[in-house]
Structure 1
Amino acid sequence: RIFFSSILFHILYFSTACGIKCYSCGPTDPKSCTTTLSCSDPFNRCFSLDVNGVTTKGCQSNAFCVKPMDCCEGDLCNSAIPTGPSVILLLVSSAIITLFL
C-alpha cells in the first residue's frame, strides 16, 4: 500500500512539475503546427490564435487568455485544425445517405 502511494505521488509530482505540452507554430509557418513545446511556469495553458487566416499556437499564461485567443488546459489540447465547409457538407450528406439506406 505504501509502495502504491509512493508511485502515485511521484507520477502526480512529475506531471505537474514538468508542465504541459502544447503545439507551437508562428505566422511564418502556419501550415506546420506539429512542433511540440514544453511549457514552464507561469505558462499553464495552450493557445491558438487565428488572425486574418494566419494561425499562431503555443504556451500562454491563464491571466492573458483573452479573446480572440482560444486557450485550453491539457497536453496538446490546441491541436484542432479548423475545418472548412466542404468537410461539414461531406459529413451531413453522409449522415443523410446513411439514414435513408
Structure 2
Amino acid sequence: MDYRKLLIALLDQGTELFSSIFIKNLKAGNNREASQCLRTLILLEYLKECIHNEGIENLVELRYPPLEEELKFWQDKGFTIPKDIFLKSKSESEAVYQ
C-alpha cells in the first residue's frame, strides 16, 4: 500500500470539505467559523507539503512491533499521543474483559 498516496488523498478530501464549509461561512458572514476553516485549510496544505518534502517515509516505515513499543517510538520522536489511545496494562485489560 502506498501510504503517501493514501495520506494525500485523505488530506485532499479534507481540503474539499473545509473549502466548501469556508465558502458557506464566508457567504453567510460568519467570520469566526470562516477563520477556523481557513486555519484548518492551511494546516491541511502544510501537511501535504510535509508529505512531499520532509521524507514522510519516516512516518510510515514498515514497523510491526508490539503496540506499546510503537507508541513509545513515536513519543520519543516528539509526537503527542492522545491519552484516549494509550494502552492499558495487561492486568487492567484482563480485568475489563472478566
Greater share of strand residues, 1 or 2? 1
Greater share of helix residues, 1 or 2? 2
TM-score (norm 1): 0.28
TM-score (norm 2): 0.29
